[in-house]
Structure 1
Amino acid sequence: MLLLGLMATALAAALAAADDISEGDADPLYRACFEECQRTGTLKEDSIKHCVVLSDDQPSGKAWYAHEPLYLKWKEWNCNSEYRYHCMMEREQEREELGLGPVKYHGKWPLKRASMFRIPLAP
């Protein structure tokens, strides 16, 4: 498992350098997680309720912030940002368990949500 994590990190670093994208964005495990979330609206066995796609391609419900479009736009919270956030946090937890430090995603250091505020995970 450690070897797999190190190989994934090395590959992500190489891809990030080649394409000028953040290391986290290039991580194949992060990308696979994000693609799975987009396809199913779930992160492993946890569903992101307002993003679960039903058979008619409509989200299953609305999140509390979806009722306030200005707030939603200001915070930039939507299904894709939820998928990115949850996959980023899952991947950072895996990296921490492997003794690796945080990496940037989308050009920014990971931030953990605390209510409507975000707290940096990186130095």
Structure 2
Amino acid sequence: MAGRTARLVLLAGAAALASGSQGDREPVYRDCVHRCEERNCSGGALRHFRSRQPIYMSLAGWTCQDDCKYECMWVTVGLYLKEGHKVPQFHGKWPFSRFLFFQEPASAMASFLNGLASLVMLCRYHTSVPASSPMYPTCVAFAWVSLNAWFWSTVFHTKDTDLTEKMDYFCASTVILHSIYLCCVRTVGLQHPGCGQCLPCPPCCCC
């Protein structure tokens, strides 16, 4: 009985994921996207779109189909607000106003600044902590793992694709796993100060 219930829960969850979000399930949104793609994303209309598209948009991977989805998203949001409804999600995300080629400008900037802070602290760690310190390699590795995660977070919030989404989530998971590892190493080092490599990091490595 428990196994059957678990299977039903999993099936329900899969169905919910497959059905998308409220906004992109709306017929008005789907019809808008379909008509926009038919009108602008083939033949001469597509060539015209590409000729007037800013170079930074094309370099960032924004396509005609992406542009249609973006414009139709706001058309749908406008109808929701006009009828007194709450703003819906689209494809599992809340709608954000695009700035230049940034899909989520505030989140992209926050990720970039976090990465920059990690880089600055890594440089400070290099200059203030001897390479012979017991926890030096572990802390430096953690800094690079964090930098990599913030890089992909910035890319993901700049342009959401299947690849950037997977890289963002995967790299964020590596930071969590490495944090757990670092915490365990430091805890063991504090309890057993004679265990060499397990000595705690200098305080600045966690900044």
For structure 2, list consecutive stretches of 5 or more residues without a partner in the other structure: 1-14, 107-207
Report how far residue 115 of structure 1 moved.
3.9
SS of alignment partner, residue 59 of structure 1: helix
Q: Quote the Cα distance in structure 1 between the aligned partners of 2:27 and 2:55.
A: 30
For structure 1, list consecutive stretches of 5 or more residues without a partner in the other structure: 1-15, 42-50
SS of alignment partner, residue 97 of structure 2: strand
Report how far residue 59 of structure 1 moved.
1.7
8 Å Cα contact 1:40/1:53 also seen in 2: no
Q: Quote the Cα distance in structure 2 between the aligned partners of 1:85 and 1:101.
A: 18
Pick aligned residue for 1:63 from 42, 53, 58: 53
Amino acid at match of 2:34: E
Aligned pair count? Answer: 89
SS of alignment partner, residue 98 of structure 2: strand
Greater percentage in helix = 2
The corresponding residue for 2:72 is 87
Larger Rg computed on CA atoms: 2
Q: TM-score, normalised by structure 1?
A: 0.59
Question: What RMSD over aligned residues (CA atoms) do the two structures have, in Å?
Answer: 2.9
User: Aligned in 2, Cα 1:88/1:58: closer, same or farther, shift over 3 Å?
Assistant: closer
Report how far residue 40 of structure 1 moved.
0.2
Cα deviation code 1:41-72 (max 9, x no counterpart):
1xxxxxxxxx5742xx7521241136863xx2
Instruction: Establish whether residue 96 from structure 1 lines up as the match of residue 81 from structure 2.
Output: yes
Q: TM-score, normalised by structure 2?
A: 0.37
Runs of 4+ in 1 over 3 A off after TM superposition: 16-20, 114-120
